[in-house]
Each structure stands twice: as structure tokens, then as C-alpha cells.
Chain A
């Protein structure tokens, strides 16, 4: 079966443009999905790939890049830190959910718990204020504490994955919700390690090479660096054989199993990779809040991440950051526009409307808008000139 035929056969979801439509892709897809080539094949020559990647950059991308780089200098510290920094950190966690849910078909509500585990590990292994009840931190330097924290959180994510993947897809939401809540209760009840209900205070980002990452602008760039790294990593991952196979697993696990892919291993690996992203997001969040407590990974926060992903749109990684920006803006300015007390009602109605009418979130709305309004003129021209 040729690569093109295979692509057509697998491309069952009509609106779902999961495959990147470029020249570089078909070779890798065709090679990857034959049983004899389960081992990851050698990618095309890097120079050609780099050239192809650079060729896809448009003016808009450059503008947005300049925009996010210049952003903290044109707004005040509140906007740089509380809006920008927080949106990037939350967006990174939501990106892990978008990757797992949108591309892997496994909507895991436990991503915030993974981030919470990373936050706690940073506080426990690194430097934090003494917690009431006796828990204290080990005072390791940050360059040791942070990688260990991310490693522990990734292990936790793999465990969550292993528990969740052995059942049908829709169970995943329930099970991950229950696992996330159990972590919440464990952290709340345990005083010797987790510091109980109050958690850890005074967890500060380090000063590296003279740059104090507690300052708003420095923190913003730190968050921006990791957000960009996560974003490009996911975009790269989706084009590798692993990423493509993951999307195949979303479409039809039985078929993939018949082809010789280890469904469980693939999925657990996806959970682990998403866990790395969420862990980095968790480290950023604990440095942002300067504290961690069970409430950082409560049911409400877990649902907030889901709301961010769905609102932004699960079809493309940028949706996570889009949703995060909108969420953070509404959260901070709802009190000025409408009554703050009804914030949850507003978010709930917005979420409900999006799921009911535009399941692809804001991205779906934007595509609809573009197709109907912006391209209407173009289509009219084509129709008139008879180019059909």
C-alpha cells in the first residue's frame, strides 16, 4: 500500500488536520507504519529538514515572535508577571493536556496533579520556609532540586498513564480525576513530607549568573523560553514516527495493535512526555506563586486546565496558550467588568457554549470566521472568474 493510499485510509476524521501537509511528511509516514520498520527509521537529512522548516515561516510568525519578546518592556510589571508569566506557565500545563487529549485521544485531568507533584518536589528538595507540622526541605541547590523534581513528576505521570491506559478511552477522564483528587488528599493529610493543608511557603526562584528570576521581566522570559521550547518540541514530536503512531492510536487502537505497535507502551510513553511538560509548568507555577499547597492541585485547578485546553482548541498546540491568555485575562479583570462573585458562572457558560457550538474552541471559531468572512471575498472572485 503506498503512502498516499495509507494516508487517505487513516485520515478518517474529516475536519481534523492532524497531519502536517508538507513535502517532508509522506516519506516518514510511509516508512513508519509498516511492521518491519517499528524501530524508528533515520529521518531525512537534517539540512533538508531545516531548510523545509525555515521555508514555512511567514511574516505573521515573525510578528508574533517579536510581539512576545517585546511584550514585557511595553507593559507594566503586573501585566508582565501576573498575566504574561502566569499565562505561559498555565499554557504549558494545558499544552500537555492538549497533546494527550487532542492528539492522543486521552483526556487526562491529572496533568495539574503532575504539575503539583513537581511543585511539591521543588519545595521539598530545594529551599522553602518551614512548614507548620514539621515538614522541612532538604535545601539542595536549584540545579539539583529542579531536575529531580521533574524526574519524580514524570515518574508519577507514567504511573498515572499506566493506571489509565488499560481501559477504554472515556474512562480516562474519570480515572485521572480520581487519581488527581487522591493526590490532593494525600498532600493535605500528610504533614511530615507534604506540609499538610498549608503546604510550603517562601519558595523562590534562584538567582542565576546574576539574573534574579524573582523579577517580573526575568521570570517572564524564563516562562517564555520554556513555553516556546515545549511548543516547538510538541510540534516536532507530532511529526516523528512516535507522534504519528500516537495519532494512529487515537483513531484506531485495534488496527495499530494488529500492525505490531505496543499500544500500552506507546500511550504510557505519551503520558510520560506530557508529564515532562506539565512538570516544567509546575516548577514555573511554584516559582510564580512562591508557595505550594494542596489547593494548587485541587479539583478546581484540574478543571481549569481542561477548560483552558478546550476553550483554546485542542486541534493545535497554540490553542493551549490561547486559552490560557483568555482565562487569565478573564480571571483578573472579571471583577472590573462584571461581578467577581459570578466568575465561575461566566467561565462555565463560556466553556459550555464552546463545547456545544464550537468544539474546536477559539481556534475553531477563528477558522469559521476566516472561512466565512475573510475568504468570502476570495471565493467570490474565484467563482466569478470561473476557476472551478
Chain B
């Protein structure tokens, strides 16, 4: 009895050793790049689009950079930081990738940033994580983010709210890091210029039944700021309509994006005209953006009708890497020091505007203010109302003011 079990246990250990001994062969004239998105969990569908963004960037660069072939290895996590670090560790220590791109969600970004400190000899580039803390708090010298983060995505929307005469607003948002950043991005200028967010309703993540929250909307506010995503946004909007709420809405970056506008059910006309803001929009009118959309559609006939947020973010991060590799002619020697230096100084024009890095290796880029409109074929899309360039992590405030405010959380900023 004992012997049998010990034998089985020994066999299992032997199997583990055997699998471990089988390593991957590596071509000398290619660069291995690990791409980590979410292929499971709540962001599985957007995560696939993230991979499409990476693939598109490599394809448009002819699969080469710096004179060497680019080999993309795919990794997956499920929006939990533990899995993201596990996948990254596998890529770095088991599969020996040269550069890592990813992860997708905010919390994962913070965890991967911490992991990157344990491997200072290689470059880690962000995928689409939009958490402020990944570069503003304890930054890692080899973690680069070529996309703007959640707070930057809302800069300028506060000004639009005041321009429309919304002096008093009510907020509903999920109770975790990303909405905190978004709200801070909105309120930084809204509060400074005289607006009042009368009440903040922070709901637990995954709340489905907003009826009681809706019942608590004060009757004297001018508009509602809704920073919810995905299913939560759909539910809230449906229930608000059913409860007869007739105030105008403003949305966060993922409140009226494609997943919400195209959910499988009857379209709600009440969404038309809702303003929101983000790092990109379907309706951007520049030739670079139109070329990006056309390339995406040609490369992925089975993808979305228009590239999603995640495709775009992964695209520009990958493009930054490829441009930098070109500039150093593929030189990854000496702990990739040339690549790191080039990445820190890199400036380029992506499909949605000019991008450069600040001293924390976070992007300074453009934010687009949008409104929901109806296209000729009856589908809904986000039309660009204004483009705000050169948005930095200090959100339009001076560095001293921003440091005093600190990172966004439930009570910061506050202007009731």
C-alpha cells in the first residue's frame, strides 16, 4: 500500500523532471517576444483583440525588426494578478523570451511591474494595463508604458461637462483601482474649475441590481457620471431607463465602448449623445487612424468591425518596441542597455496621435472626447468631439499640486 503510493508519487516527480528537461530550441537570429493578454476570464474576448494588435504591428513591420526575425510567443492569464505573474515567470524563466509585452488589466500591470524588478536585465513593455500605480508608485526602471493610463483617459471631459452647464453631478462607479483613476482624471480639472460632485456611489464590483442606487440619485443634480464597465454599465443603463431617470449621462472610458454599444439585445436610443473620453475612438478622422482600421480589417476578417481599445493599446506598445529595435539594430547585448536607453527617449506618431514618455516611462499622449452617435447603417459608434493632446500623468495640474493630491481613491479628489 505504502510502496504503491510512493511509486506513483515518484513517477509523478519523474514526469515533472522530464518535462522540465525538455527545453525549447532557440534560433540565434530571431528575437523572442512574449505577448501576454487575457484569453480566459471576463476579458477573454478583448484579450483576443489584444493579440490581434500585437500580430498586426509585427505584420506591418514585415515580421522583422533590427534585422532579426520577430517570434511572438502567446501567453494567457485571466485578469488575476497571480496568473499574470505566473505566465510572465513562465515566459521569462522557462521559455527565455528576450522581451515581454503585457499584461492586459490594471491590477495585473502592477503585479508584473513588481516582477520586472526581479529581472532588471530585460525589457518589460506594458500591454493595455491602465493602472496609475504601475508607473506612478514605485516605478520599475525596466517597465515601459507607451499608452496613457486610466486617469489620463478622462482629462478634458470635466471641461466639457462645465461647458454643457453641468455644475452639479452625481457619480456611480465600481469600488476598485481603475475607476478611482478615471474619476480622478475627470475631477482634477472639474473640481478645480468650480464643478461639484455632490455624491459618489461606490458599488462593489459585479453589482447587478442598481435599483437602490438609482433610488438614491438626488433630484437637484444636473447630470450623472457613470464610470462602470461592460455588463455593469448595460445593467445600470437599462435599469435607469426603466426607473424613469431622465438626466443626461456622461460615461467613463469603458462605459459606452463597443462592447456596451453592441450588446446583444435591443438598442437603447437613450444612449445617443452620451459623452465620454478615452485614448482612442472609432470615429477619429485622421488618415493615420483610417489606415490603421483598414489594415486591421484586412488582416482579421473575423475580428471586430473596428479595432477595440485593447487592439489599439497592444498595437502601439508593440510598435514602440519594433521601432526601438530598428534603431539599435537588434542589439540586445549587455543586459539590453541600448534598447532600454532608446525606449526611454522614443517618440513616434501612432494611429491616434503623438506619443512620448515621461520620467517614469509612462506615455504622454492624446485623449479624445467623444459622443455616441448613430451611423448610417443604424449601428452606434463614438464620434470625436475634441482631441486633447499632450496629456501627462499630472492630469493638467502642476507636479506639486498633483503630488499633494496623490493617487486617486474613494475620497480623493473630493468636491461635494
Instruction: Mark A residues whose CB is within 8 Å of B.
Output: 17, 21, 56, 58, 60-61, 63-64, 67-68, 71, 74-79, 81-84, 129-130, 132-134, 185, 188-189, 191, 196-198, 201-202, 289-291, 293, 295-296, 298, 316, 318-319, 321-322, 325-326, 329, 332-333, 335, 340-341, 343-344, 362-363, 366-367, 370
Contact = CB atoms under 8 A, between A and B. Distances in A.
A333 B94 CA distance: 11
Nearest to A335: B76
19 contacts: A60-B3, A67-B10, A71-B16, A74-B17, A75-B21, A78-B89, A79-B94, A82-B93, A82-B94, A83-B16, A133-B409, A191-B409, A197-B107, A291-B82, A293-B82, A296-B82, A332-B90, A362-B8, A363-B5
Contact of B17 (A64, A75, A132): A75
B20 A79 contact: yes
A295 B14 CA distance: 32
Interface in B1-40: 1-10, 12-17, 19-21, 23, 39-40
Contact of B4 (A71, A325, A329, A370): A370
Interface stretch (B175-183, B244-252, B359-367, B368-376): B175-183
Given A64-B10, A198-B177, A335-B76, 4 more contacts: A60-B6, A77-B93, A197-B175, A295-B82
A129 B16 contact: no
Contacts of A329: 15-16, 19
A334 to B, nearest CB: 10
The 9 lowest CB-CB distance pairs between A and B, nearest first, are A197-B176, A78-B93, A79-B20, A78-B94, A75-B20, A60-B6, A340-B76, A64-B10, A295-B80
Contact of A293 (B5, B81, B410): B81
A340 B9 contact: no
A367 B8 CA distance: 10
Contacts of B93: 76-78, 81-82
B292 interface: no
B403 to A, nearest CB: 15
B81 A291 contact: yes
Contacts of B8: 318, 322, 362-363, 366
B416 to A, nearest CB: 19
Majority SS of interface residues in chain A?
Answer: helix
B64 interface: no
B85 interface: yes
A295 to B, nearest CB: 5
A332 B88 CA distance: 11
Contacts of A84: 16
Contacts of A134: 409
Contact of A322 (B9, B21, B75, B137): B9
A76 B20 CA distance: 7
A293 B107 contact: yes
